[in-house]
A and B are shown apart, each in its own frame.
Chain A
Amino acid sequence: MNIKNIFIFILMLAAIVIFPLFVPNKYYISVMVVVGFNVLICIGLCMLMGYAGQISLGHAAFYGLGAYTSGVLCTKYLFNPWLAMLCGIIITGGVAYLIGVPSLKLKGHYLAMATLGFGEIVFIAFNELSFLTGGPSGMTSIPRLSLFGLALNTDLRFYCFTWVVVLVTVILSINIVNSRVGRALLAIHGSERAALAAGVNVPAHKIQIFVLSAIYASIAGSMYAHFVTFISPSSFGFMKSITLVTMVVIGGMSDIWGACIGALILTVLPEYLHVFHDYEILIFGVTLMIIMILMPKGLFVGAMDGIEWIKSKIFRKTNEKDTVGI
């Protein structure tokens, strides 16, 4: 990790620790738990989109696969939740591999459609396999998680658990993107042919990162299932996939921190837009468009550029003073 990352990481850690102490009421803790799920998925999606340059409009399917594997195994076959979560990771990873191998050969909009189509197929399967999933009415009474004999049955406990998972994921992901693999991914993003010519195993790297991002989503899904204790297909449809991609892009997909910020803002923003009632949708859409038009690279990059700009101003001013002094 470089200085910038360590600095932001400490800032984030501090925010996570301080937040519950000063929060006006418990409700915001549960909001932050949901933010945590989204951050988790967005980190994976950011590595896929921002670093490897591959789009996915079907990530809600992986999120759902994790949630449903946990839900089905825990309620129908009475698995231990942690074991179920592990099964979720294996199943989702396997599915991601199978769909990734042929799909990632596609480019641009074709890849977008293939992932979108895959997401829809999984969504339909959740609806139709009612003997397993409970169909469109969903499945109830998914057990809660417990850790070392401590039941994660309050929002605060789940909050701690979620954000520990997120922090670990962040460290892991930053290390990946700053490693050989990360540089290979950036090379693929730049030009696949050039990367190939330079000896990068392009297909293998693309698959690896696709599977990894699916696993992140699966973990988030399992956690979601145990947090809400109810799941139904409508949480894992096309709109969820779109929302996830939007979070990553709005935050800024060239940096993992961007994805985190995007997930935070787009999860919390609707809370504040509630006061506008029927105008909420409209204002939300306009906000999205304005951010994208003004900061096409996302909020994080926009903010960083802003800081750079201010720095340069100050810097230049001191410089000028110096010259004047001389």
Chain B
Amino acid sequence: MSIFTKILQYIFTGLTIGSIFAMVGLGFNIIYNATDIINFAQGEFVMIGGMVMVSLTKGMNIPMIPAFFLTIIIVAIVGILLERLAINPLSNPSIITIIIITIGASIVFKGLAMLIWGKDTFILPAFTGETPINVGGAVIIPQSIWVLGITLLVVACLAVFFEKTLLGKAMRACATNRKAASLMGINVNRMVMLSFALSAAIGAVSGVIITPISLMDYHRGTMLAIKGFAAAILGGLGSGAGAVIAGFLIGIMESMGAGFISSGYKDAIALVVLLLVLFIKPTGLMGKSELR
């Protein structure tokens, strides 16, 4: 195996892992942009997405494509419920209160998932078979291509949504200045709810596409949330593109670190890089400087 093939393989692996971090990071950003909130239950949306898809396809025998959209709708409703029941009732909460509430929510989701689906690990079939594709000696499985493709598609759709549609612009306005947005006739309350629905939906999508690769159990959400948070911060809070690039970067750093340095320290390598970036540029790679 030549060094070139190895590097190529590490890049493929890194991109596959990284796209998951990117998706979770994006989810963080959407809510942050509309509300300034970091939702630590973001990882649980991914978990619930995977689990619901398993139940729909395996338990109820619904075909893949309708089940996929049904999953997105169900998880989006979960997101809306979270916002209505736990976030909306608060008046002027502090950052730390919100963090604890979303952590509480993630514990609740975990507990519910354990009761509903039990403690087993579940898997979904790959969308288009498992035969690996050979590229320059390295292999990539079709599901990885799906993951990558869908991630990029989601990014593109979001970009269009936020830049071109009225609704997206309204959400961005809320992020910039809530009061001003509200004075301009934007229903801020509804925008916040929408941001939770949207970010839950994105979580659901990532859950469905990664379950064939990484399997899914009720306990998976926390780790995904940490990695996604890392991607969002490294990219710079508020920057969708930043989160995606950072997600891929962390993934590649981990796989390269495992391949060339030490597999035991691979997570530490990515984190050290992240800390160094923050120390040099305190608002992440593409973040605007945070006023306050």
User: Which of these, A110, A242, A253, A281, contacts B278 with CB under 8 Å?
Assistant: A110
Q: Are A124 and B104 in contact, with the CB atoms below 8 A? A: no
User: Which of these, B101, B110, B111, B271, contacts A120 with CB under 8 Å?
Assistant: B271
Q: Are A121 and B100 in contact, with the CB atoms below 8 A? A: no
Please give, as numbers and ranges, the residues of chain B lying within 8 Å of A279 by CB-CB distance: 111, 115
Does B47 interact with chain A (Cβ within 8 Å)?
no
Instruction: Tally the A-B contacts, defined by beta carbons under 8 Å.
Output: 127
Query: Please, what's the 1-or-0 string for B89-111, where 1 marks a CB less than 8 Å from any CB in chain A?
Result: 11001111101110111111111
Please give, as numbers and ranges, the residues of chain A lying within 8 Å of B226 by CB-CB distance: 116, 120, 238
Please give, as numbers and ranges, the residues of chain B lying within 8 Å of A239 by CB-CB distance: 222
Among A114, A120, A249, A293, residue most surrounded by chain B Cβ atoms (within 10 Å) = A293
Does A288 interact with chain B (Cβ within 8 Å)?
yes
Q: Are A292 and B100 in contact, with the CB atoms below 8 A? A: yes
Q: How far is the CA of A128 from the CA of B272 in the complex (A)?
A: 16
Q: Are A285 and B104 in contact, with the CB atoms below 8 A? A: yes
Does B275 interact with chain A (Cβ within 8 Å)?
yes
User: DSSP majority for the A interface?
Assistant: helix
Q: Are B284 and A110 in contact, with the CB atoms below 8 A? A: yes
What count of chain A residues pass the 8 Å CB interface test? 44
Q: Are B96 and A49 in contact, with the CB atoms below 8 A? A: yes
Interface residues in A84-108 (C-beta closer than 8 Å to B): 102-103, 105-108
Does B264 interact with chain A (Cβ within 8 Å)?
yes
Q: Are A281 and B292 in contact, with the CB atoms below 8 A? A: no
Interface residues on B, range: 35 or more
Please give, as numbers and ranges, the residues of chain B lying within 8 Å of A242 by CB-CB distance: 103
Q: Are A107 and B292 in contact, with the CB atoms below 8 A? A: yes
Does B274 interact with chain A (Cβ within 8 Å)?
yes
Q: What distance in Å separates the Cβ of B29 from its nearest Cβ neighbour in chain A?
A: 11
Please give, as numbers and ranges, the residues of chain B lying within 8 Å of A284 by CB-CB distance: 107, 111
Please give, as numbers and ranges, the residues of chain B lying within 8 Å of A105 by CB-CB distance: 279, 282
Q: Are B222 and A110 in contact, with the CB atoms below 8 A? A: no
Please give, as numbers and ranges, the residues of chain B lying within 8 Å of A103 by CB-CB distance: 275, 279
Q: What distance in Å separates the Cβ of B290 from its nearest Cβ neighbour in chain A?
A: 6
Q: How far is the CA of A197 from the CA of B209 in the complex (A)?
A: 52
Please give, as numbers and ranges, the residues of chain A lying within 8 Å of B108 by CB-CB distance: 282, 285-286, 289
User: Which of these, B94, B100, B229, B271, contacts A288 with CB under 8 Å?
Assistant: B100
Given contacts A109-B38, A110-B282, A120-B267, A289 and B86 within 8 Å (CB-CB): yes
Given contacts A284-B107, A285-B107, A285-B108, A55 and B237 within 8 Å (CB-CB): no
Q: Are B283 and A121 in contact, with the CB atoms below 8 A? A: no
Does A125 interact with chain B (Cβ within 8 Å)?
yes
Q: Are B292 and A292 in contact, with the CB atoms below 8 A? A: no
Please give, as numbers and ranges, the residues of chain A lying within 8 Å of B264 by CB-CB distance: 124, 127-128
Q: How far is the CA of A55 from the CA of B101 in the complex (A)?
A: 15
Q: How far is the CA of A212 from the CA of B232 in the complex (A)?
A: 30
Interface residues in A267-287 (C-beta closer than 8 Å to B): 278-286
Q: What distance in Å separates the Cβ of A310 from its nearest Cβ neighbour in chain B?
A: 23
User: Which of these, B86, B107, B284, contacts A281 with CB under 8 Å?
Assistant: B107
Q: How far is the CA of A282 from the CA of B113 in the complex (A)?
A: 10
Q: Are A121 and B268 in contact, with the CB atoms below 8 A? A: yes
Given contacts A55-B96, A121-B268, A239-B222, A110 and B104 within 8 Å (CB-CB): no
Which B positions have Cβ atoms within 8 angstroms of A? 38, 86, 89-90, 93-97, 99-101, 103-112, 114-115, 222, 226, 229-230, 233, 237, 262, 264-265, 267-268, 271-272, 274-275, 278-279, 282-284, 290, 292
Which A positions have Cβ atoms within 8 angstroms of B? 49, 55, 102-103, 105-110, 112-114, 116-118, 120-121, 124-125, 127-128, 238-239, 242, 245-246, 249-250, 253, 278-286, 288-289, 292-293, 296
27 A-B pairs within 8 Å (CB atoms) are namely A55-B96, A103-B279, A105-B282, A109-B237, A112-B99, A117-B271, A117-B274, A118-B275, A120-B267, A124-B267, A238-B226, A239-B222, A250-B100, A279-B111, A280-B111, A281-B107, A281-B114, A284-B107, A284-B111, A285-B105, A285-B107, A285-B109, A288-B101, A288-B103, A293-B86, A293-B89, A296-B90
In the complex, the 7 A-B pairs of residues with the closest C-beta atoms, listed nearest first: A282-B111, A285-B107, A288-B104, A281-B111, A285-B108, A289-B104, A113-B233
